[in-house]
Amino acid sequence: MRHFFVPFLLWASVLAAEQTQPVISPELEGLPVPLAIALQQLMKDEGHWAFTQTTQIFDRDGQPEGGLQVERYDPSQPEEEQWTLLLRKGEPPTERQVRSWRRKKEKEMRRREEKSLGEVLDFNRAQVTREDAQALVYEIPLKKSASRRFPAEKFVAFMTVDRAGRQLAHFSLKARESFRMVGVAKVEKVEINAEFAKVEAPYAAQPSVITASGTGKILFFRVGGSAHVTWTDFKRVTPYNDRFVVELGELKVLDF
């Protein structure tokens, strides 16, 4: 009996491990397993959350520029109705302001749809730069074809994966060094950070606070500023385009 019981325990432990290990989708094969699982969870939930986006812009000295801009995103609505402007510079917008905002928003969304995250970040070159009992931090270079506006080789991304939840906890994109744009513009610093927070079990954590900052020079004038964005009031919804089949889509979250 003893000779039978020990192999049985070994077989049961292997079976349990296999059952708790998610199947990695084909587009994520080859990535480090913890990173692939975290990205897969985020991809699976994309387009299933409505939320309120609040943005505050700051000048080079850290002083607020204008009031808050508040927008509501709801992917359960038709595409042209998914974004709604609630406040502009801290006040209800006029019809004219809404029309101007909508034109800019449509242009912004088209730019975001140009490339998926996998077309921007070279995940096959992801390397662990730091790890402890709680998290793994991956350094991920950008692909050369990542952007037409910025030299991709000047940037690097970092993704922090929470070991326990097997999901993203933090994302950052930074310029490795200063660089020039359009001949007379010198970009000295660019940094984007996104903190992820749990919204509702058992779904993946979502971006909750996003900050972006940059400094540089145009001719002899120093320029710069930053933005602070929060996502709140999450609500689980069914995407408008979902009908009978739910497929794993491409993650498109970088406006780069």
Q: Is residue 2 part of a domain?
A: no
Q: Determine, yes or no, domain membership for 198.
A: yes
pLDDT given for residue 5 in this prediction: 42
Does 255 fall in a domain? no
The residue among 75 and 242 whose pLDDT is bigger is 75
Please report whether residue 244 resides in a domain: no
3-state secondary structure (DSSP) of residue 225: strand
Residue of 186, 180, 200, 126 whose CA lies nearest to 156: 126
Cα-based angle 179, 174, 126 (whole degrees, multiple of 5): 115
Q: How many CB atoms lie within 10 A of CB 114?
A: 12
Query: Does the residue 159 lie in any domain?
Result: yes
Q: Determine the Cα–Cα distance for residues 212 and 160; give it in Å rounded to an integer.
A: 18
256 within domain boundaries: no
pLDDT at 222 over 80: no
In this structure, is residue 190 part of a structural domain? yes
pTM of the model: 0.81
The verdict on residue 166 lying in a domain is yes
**95-99, 119-123, 127-131, 194-198: segment of lowest average pLDDT:** 119-123
Q: How many domains does the chain have?
A: 1
**Is it the case that residue 3 has pLDDT exceeding 50?**
no
Quote the percentage of the chain above a pLDDT of 70.
Answer: 82
Q: What is the mean pLDDT of the chain?
A: 84
| Parent domain of 98 | 30-236
